[in-house]
Structure 1
Amino acid sequence: MPASLQEVKRRITSTKKTGQITTAMQMVSTAKLNQIQKHTASYQVYAAKIRNVITHLAASHLLDDVEAPETVEKGKVNSLSMLDKRPVKKTGLVVITSDRGLVGSYNSNVIKQTLSLITKNNHSKEDVEIIAIGGTGADFFKKRGYDILYEYRELDDVPTFREVRPIVRAILKMFEAEKFDELFVCYNHFVNSLTSSFRGEQMLPIAAENLGSDQLDATDDSGYNYEYDTEPSEDAILEVILPQYAESLLYGAMLDAKTSEHASSSTAMRSASDNADDIIAKLELQYNRARQSAITTEITEITGAQAALE
């Protein structure tokens, strides 16, 4: 077999093996996507309830004029500090990316839009503190000189609520210690299996304007005012509800981001498999033409030699 035919045959074989790998990876990503979508659907009910409670509390002005205690028991986070509004000297950004590649434009879109958010707010590197969830984002911002306050790698394919709690606790301690004065969560929101959109949601401090409650009056459709009787006290209730809200917001963002990651990976691997099939078809056509040409040449040479002998 001529060297050119051997080379084409080797390329066909290697491309088929690559196609088998990408097809297997697509199946795995699709399975993970289906799994996390089932988990997310049930969690969204809880997250919506928590958000509604906080929104109504803000609309009824229960969050106004709440002061954090000066002393807190050692080892515990002062939850009421989440309401602390202060002049913004530093902005914290929770950037959620993946730990691996082969996820299409997922990581590049999050990073690009996060940089756009930094530019839009007229921030310099010195004004920003990065909290990186995922190795890709952590490595990117490290290489470009940003300060990484906290990083978390190897997030589960279907994150658990238990996994989020220590992250939220660390973030709240940093906010209380005034490492940053406001905090945004930046991630890709899952729209459908082919589409995702960037979101940059403010997480801290918790305020009515950040909850969208400016469009919610302190009255319901029937005209009644929202009023709350609290037991044992407003502060005690908020000490419980505010951490739950922070946990639900960050956990929801992680679930949403992971769903988008699996969808992007599935789409990228399906595209790679389709491209492999196209390349194989072209190579096989090239191989068959070259082989036919070689056979024709051999027949011509044999016929010519036979004619010469006669």
Structure 2
Amino acid sequence: MPSLREIKGRINSVSSTLQVTRTMEMISTARIRKALDRAQKAAPYKDAITLMLANVASAGYGSEHPLLRVHPKEQHVVFLLIASDRGMAGGFNIVPQREVMHAIEDLESRGVGADVITCGRKPTEFFRYRGKQPLLSFEGISSEPTMDEADRIASYIMDGYKSGQIDRVMIYYSHAKNRVDQQQVVEQLLPITNEQLMMPNRPRTAEALSMIEHKQDTVFEFDPSAVEVLGYLLPAYVRTVIYHALLDSAAAEHGARRRAMKSASDNAQDIITSLSRTYNRERQGSITTELNEIVAGASALEDNN
């Protein structure tokens, strides 16, 4: 059985950890509102530009555009993984990292080349440690993403897709449903599919997707030409989707860390409570033992007298 000093030291150690987890929980709680607001404010722009793009593409003008054309043979797939710079957020980082790694291994086992672009220090370290050097990596801005990051990613993948060096681009990130819940999202970024265009704010479950009513869009006249408009809209669409995913992931990160730190704080408090009971029980037993020794000693003195 540990001594009273050891138990007291353990209580002090867990109490220090509790202070850290509570502080991190409060920080994430304060930041998640701002992050959610940024993601929600960006969503209408994403929906609007997707609807504009759908109106042009549905008229048949986008059939020959390089970003809408499906390559006949898939030889190289790129995964865009958006995660976090820091840990202590439960499975926020490790779950999508493992999913992307399994997808890459599956493709490579079939003779298809696969690479990854990482946003966040944690996924960058994850793949470098496993010998998979990211094509691009961004660190230090997972909580406060910028449009510059989205522009660089979009330019790289669009140039690669147009040149034929990239045949498909998948994006993995966490969607912040609210301040508490997060949901893993896996979407095809390139080539852009008709489903993405016709349902810009589409539900994320198969059941909800089946309830969507498909309606014929109104026919529009374009000035300048629809082909020229499409040339501006498609790159803007790709950049907007990436930027919104970065913002959404930042909000999800704060929510995941808040939940993880709350769970850690609750567990630490339970440990402190249990250790305090053990400490009090052992202390009481020690006092009782000392009293018994004093009484026995007093009785022995009386007998000698």
1:295 is matched by which residue type in structure 2?
I
Match of 1:247 among 239, 257, 262: 239
- Within 2, Cα distance between the matches of 1:177 and 1:144? 29
Matches within 5 A, 1:45-64: 45-64=44-63
- When normalised by structure 2's length, the TM-score is 0.86
1:267 is matched by which residue type in structure 2?
R
- Within 2, Cα distance between the matches of 1:181 and 1:157? 30
- Within 1, Cα distance between the matches of 2:108 and 2:149? 33
- Within 1, Cα distance between the matches of 2:111 and 2:79? 12
**Structure 1 stretch displaced more, 114-123 or 192-201:** 114-123
Structure 1 runs, 4 residues or longer, greater than 4 Å off: 116-126, 215-218
The answer to whether structure 1 residue 161 and structure 2 residue 153 are counterparts is no
- Within 2, Cα distance between the matches of 1:12 and 1:230? 71
Query: Structure 1's 297 and 123: CA in aligned 2 closer, same or farther, altered over 3 A?
Result: same
- Within 2, Cα distance between the matches of 1:302 and 1:105? 57
> What are the superposed Cα offsets for residues 57-115 of structure 1, whole Å, 9 maximum, x if unpaired?
2322221234xxxxxxxxxxxxxx32343222111110111122101011122123324
Question: How much is the aligned-residue C-alpha RMSD, in angstroms?
Answer: 2.5
- Within 2, Cα distance between the matches of 1:92 and 1:100? 24
Contact 1:133/1:152, CA 8 A, preserved across alignment: yes
Q: In the alignment, which residue of structure 2 is the partner of 1:289?
A: 281
Q: In the alignment, which residue of structure 2 is the partner of 1:139?
A: 125
Q: Secondary structure at the match of 1:57?
A: helix
The answer to whether structure 1 residue 279 and structure 2 residue 278 are counterparts is no
Contact 2:104/2:115, CA 8 A, preserved across alignment: no
Give 5+ residue unaligned stretches, structure 1.
67-80, 221-225
Matches within 5 A, 1:58-73: 58-66=57-65
Query: Structure 1's 190 and 123: CA in aligned 2 closer, same or farther, altered over 3 A?
Result: farther
Query: Structure 1's 107 and 130: CA in aligned 2 closer, same or farther, altered over 3 A?
Result: same
Q: In the alignment, which residue of structure 1 is the partner of 2:36?
A: 37
> What are the superposed Cα offsets for residues 159-188 of structure 1, whole Å, 9 maximum, x if unpaired?
232442223222322333433111111112
- Within 1, Cα distance between the matches of 2:81 and 2:131? 15
Contact 1:128/1:146, CA 8 A, preserved across alignment: no
Matches within 5 A, 1:151-190: 151-190=137-176
- Structure 1 residue 123: deviation in Å? 5.5
- Structure 1 residue 231: deviation in Å? 2.0
2:70 is matched by which residue type in structure 1?
K
The answer to whether structure 1 residue 83 and structure 2 residue 60 are counterparts is no
2:276 is matched by which residue type in structure 1?
E
Query: Structure 1's 138 and 3: CA in aligned 2 closer, same or farther, altered over 3 A?
Result: closer
- Within 2, Cα distance between the matches of 1:307 and 1:99? 69
Q: Secondary structure at the match of 2:81?
A: strand
Query: Structure 1's 189 and 235: CA in aligned 2 closer, same or farther, altered over 3 A?
Result: same
Q: In the alignment, which residue of structure 1 is the partner of 2:14?
A: 15
- Within 2, Cα distance between the matches of 1:35 and 1:256? 11
The percentage of aligned residue pairs carrying the same residue is 31
- Within 2, Cα distance between the matches of 1:134 and 1:124? 29
Contact 2:53/2:230, CA 8 A, preserved across alignment: no
- When normalised by structure 1's length, the TM-score is 0.85
Q: In the alignment, which residue of structure 2 is the partner of 1:72?
A: none
The answer to whether structure 1 residue 96 and structure 2 residue 82 are counterparts is yes
Q: In the alignment, which residue of structure 2 is the partner of 1:5?
A: 4
- Within 2, Cα distance between the matches of 1:234 and 1:98? 39
The answer to whether structure 1 residue 228 and structure 2 residue 225 are counterparts is no
1:219 is matched by which residue type in structure 2?
Q
Query: Structure 1's 232 and 216: CA in aligned 2 closer, same or farther, altered over 3 A?
Result: farther
Q: In the alignment, which residue of structure 1 is the partner of 2:91?
A: 105
- Within 2, Cα distance between the matches of 1:132 and 1:153? 9
Contact 1:118/1:124, CA 8 A, preserved across alignment: no
The answer to whether structure 1 residue 197 and structure 2 residue 196 are counterparts is no
- Within 2, Cα distance between the matches of 1:209 and 1:272? 41
- Within 2, Cα distance between the matches of 1:99 and 1:30? 18
- Within 1, Cα distance between the matches of 2:103 and 2:31? 30
Query: Structure 1's 98 and 140: CA in aligned 2 closer, same or farther, altered over 3 A?
Result: same
The answer to whether structure 1 residue 219 and structure 2 residue 205 are counterparts is no
Q: In the alignment, which residue of structure 2 is the partner of 1:150?
A: 136
Match of 2:301 among 286, 293, 309: 309
- Within 2, Cα distance between the matches of 1:285 and 1:105? 32
